[in-house]
Structure 1
Amino acid sequence: MEVTKVLHMNGGMGDASYAKNSLLQQKVILMTKSITDEAISSLYNNLSSRETICIADLGCSSGPNTFLSVSQFIQTIDKERKKKGRHKAPEFHVFLNDLPSNDFNTIFRLLPTFHQSLRKQNMGEDGSLFDPSNCFVTGVAGSFYTRLFPSNSLHFVHSSYSLHWLSQVPDGIKNNKGNIYLTSTSPASVHKAYYEQFERDFVTFLKYRSEELMKNGRMVLTMLGRKNEDRFSQGCSYEWELLATTLKLLIAQESIDAEKVDSFNVPAYNPSPSEVMHIVEKERSFTIDILKTSEIQRNSCDDEKYDMAKSFRSVAEPLLVSHFGHDELNMDQVFHKYNQVIANDRKAMEKIMFVNVTISLTKIN
């Protein structure tokens, strides 16, 4: 599996799209707002009033959430501007990054709505409106495990629910049969391979961002993780276990080949706070300002429009299609069966707990 070519969320605005099924990710962005507010306020207060503020959102995906964080950044800076008595609002250059397979078309179709929202949300006390022509948006296609921007060109980097995705499926995990991810039945060598791949990727990410950020540049990163060192805790990985159960049922029905399932592994790793801290300190480009965990359960998304299977499908389907192909595996059949598996596990929603590891960093100069 060439992750850089196939890893993306379901595009468009259809029933199974990420744009329509990312309520949980939206809640996480709102949960971590206080940390991003602190970082970007501190950043702005150390800038001159004439600077164009350059912000990169890495792993932006597509849909309304793409612009949610950006709107928050601009609102926070505008509040700080008014506190400091600065009359002229800064210009913003926003870089929205994801892999080339991401649905950038949907992002840019939402730009007029984003601009309209900025006008309303940043109305001045005198009734003046925020001028959206002060906000320039650019799409940047590429892996954030490579260089993406010129040296010393960014003020602020943000990423939410992206860095747990690896640059590749780890090598040396062919003995993870019966699983498609890390579980209590995975051999110790598989756990080691997954962690080492995450460490390599995160070190690479930090190295490149340190080259791209300006003096005193800030980053706030949120990734799916774990509360502690227990790699066997179910948490969000339980969704993948439910999918593994689904695929095994399809093998029993002879709807899918067992060897094909054995060769399927998810390119993701959920780190603990101590693992994240260790890697940052080892790489030595950043100081840690805040390192915090938060939790959200699947069953806390009680919106009437929320559907657990559709939400998971919007993330998992592209990986399944790339590995099995549409001809070999009918996605409607897979997720119909997945729904049945959930229905047979009455506590499935309670077992799925998303632990968010959020870290706020300052570049060491």
Structure 2
Amino acid sequence: MNEQVPPGLESSARTTTTMNKGKIYISKSSSHGVLEAYSLQFQTDFSSFLKSRSKEIAAGGCMLLSLMGRRSTDPTTDDSCYHWELLAQALMSMVSEGLVEEEKVDSFNAPYYGPCVEEIRIEIEKEGSFIVSRLETFEIEWDGGVDDAGTTSGAQSPGQRVAKTIRAVVESMLEFHFGKDIMDELFKRYGETVEDYLSKTGTKYTNLVISMVRKG
């Protein structure tokens, strides 16, 4: 599914402020405007996705989707956004040392949205091409639930595994915005930040699996 950065979050020629200063996604400190912008962008993108797929699937045909989401209707819960919050913290630690320009962080917003079950159902019903036959949620450990007990001393820590996984997904977009030179240091710090966070909490990702049938 194509996801875009919501319009209006960046500063413009008419204003020097940003709606999501010091953050790169939704956070507990984000304004209502940021939450609304991401929600509206999801509605637009998901509806467009459903409409496009409806042209490819025959009546009675099935479509199965698996995507990251959240259990709560609150988009600021840890299971929804905290991996982005920790990445922002790693970036801001580099800002404090003069390694990254603060304006670079302020002008970057992740092209991502983790919807809740209610949002998925509403958009499917609103678009009108499909009927939900089954919708389930699954919890996934941040580090994949890998147990390093009994492995060699060179095994990666949970924080390192998370950092490696997230890097594989987002490095290209971060590199385009911040430059290639900071990537190793950024994800080193991110891994350390995640390691500290996971030592104190049991937050998990939420994965949504949706089975739909194309209407006749």
SS of the residue corresponding to residue 29 of structure 2 reads coil
**In the alignment, structure 1 residue 340 sits paired with structure 2 residue 187:** no
Q: Distance in 2 between matches of 1:300 and 1:188?
A: 32
Give the unaligned 5+ runs of structure 1.
1-162
Q: Is the 8 A contact 1:293 1:357 kept in 2?
A: yes
Cα offsets for 1:78-127 (capped at 9, x unmatched): xxxxxxxxxxxxxxxxxxxxxxxxxxxxxxxxxxxxxxxxxxxxxxxxxx
Q: Which residue of 1 aligns with 2:205?
A: 354
Q: Which residue of 2 aligns with 1:171?
A: 7
Q: Which residue of 2 aligns with 1:246?
A: 90
Counterpart residue identity of residue 338, structure 1: Y
SS of the residue corresponding to residue 172 of structure 1 reads coil
Cα offsets for 1:150-189 (capped at 9, x unmatched): xxxxxxxxxxxxx4x61x2101223111110001111101
Counterpart residue identity of residue 362, structure 1: V
Give the superposition deviation at 1:350.
Answer: 2.1
Q: Distance in 2 between matches of 1:222 and 1:248?
A: 32
Q: Which residue of 2 aligns with 1:204?
A: 48
Highest RCO, 1 vs 2 (Cα 8 Å, sep ≥ 6): 2
Percent of residue pairs bearing the same amino acid type: 37
- The partner residue of 1:295 within 139, 155, 176 is 139
Structure-to-structure mapping, 1:147-296, within 5 angstroms:
163=1, 166=3, 168-174=4-10, 175-296=19-140
**In the alignment, structure 1 residue 320 sits paired with structure 2 residue 174:** yes
Give the superposition deviation at 1:299.
Answer: 4.7
Q: Distance in 1 between matches of 2:68 and 2:174?
A: 20
Q: Which residue of 2 aligns with 1:78?
A: none
Give the unaligned 5+ runs of structure 2.
11-18, 149-154
Cα offsets for 1:55-87 (capped at 9, x unmatched): xxxxxxxxxxxxxxxxxxxxxxxxxxxxxxxxx
Superposed CA RMSD in Å reads: 1.8
Q: Is the 8 A contact 2:70 2:80 kept in 1?
A: no
Give the superposition deviation at 1:236.
Answer: 4.7
Cα offsets for 1:21-55 (capped at 9, x unmatched): xxxxxxxxxxxxxxxxxxxxxxxxxxxxxxxxxxx
Q: Which has the larger radius of gyration?
A: 1
Count of aligned pairs between the two proteins:
198
Distance of aligned partners of 1:330 and 1:210 in 2 relative to their CA distance in 1, 3 Å threshold? same
SS of the residue corresponding to residue 210 of structure 2 reads strand
Q: Distance in 2 between matches of 1:299 and 1:333?
A: 20
SS of the residue corresponding to residue 61 of structure 2 reads strand
Q: Which residue of 2 aligns with 1:364?
A: 215
Counterpart residue identity of residue 210, structure 1: S
Give the superposition deviation at 1:341.
Answer: 1.9
Q: Distance in 2 between matches of 1:200 and 1:355?
A: 22
Distance of aligned partners of 1:262 and 1:300 in 2 relative to their CA distance in 1, 3 Å threshold? same
SS of the residue corresponding to residue 309 of structure 1 reads helix
SS of the residue corresponding to residue 54 of structure 2 reads helix
Q: Which residue of 1 aligns with 2:16?
A: none
Distance of aligned partners of 1:332 and 1:361 in 2 relative to their CA distance in 1, 3 Å threshold? same
Give the superposition deviation at 1:200.
Answer: 0.6
SS of the residue corresponding to residue 202 of structure 1 reads helix
Q: Distance in 2 between matches of 1:303 and 1:183?
A: 30
**When the two structures are superposed, what TM-score results if normalisation uses the length of structure 1?**
0.52
Q: Distance in 2 between matches of 1:322 and 1:226?
A: 28
Cα offsets for 1:246-279 (capped at 9, x unmatched): 0111011100100011101100001111110000
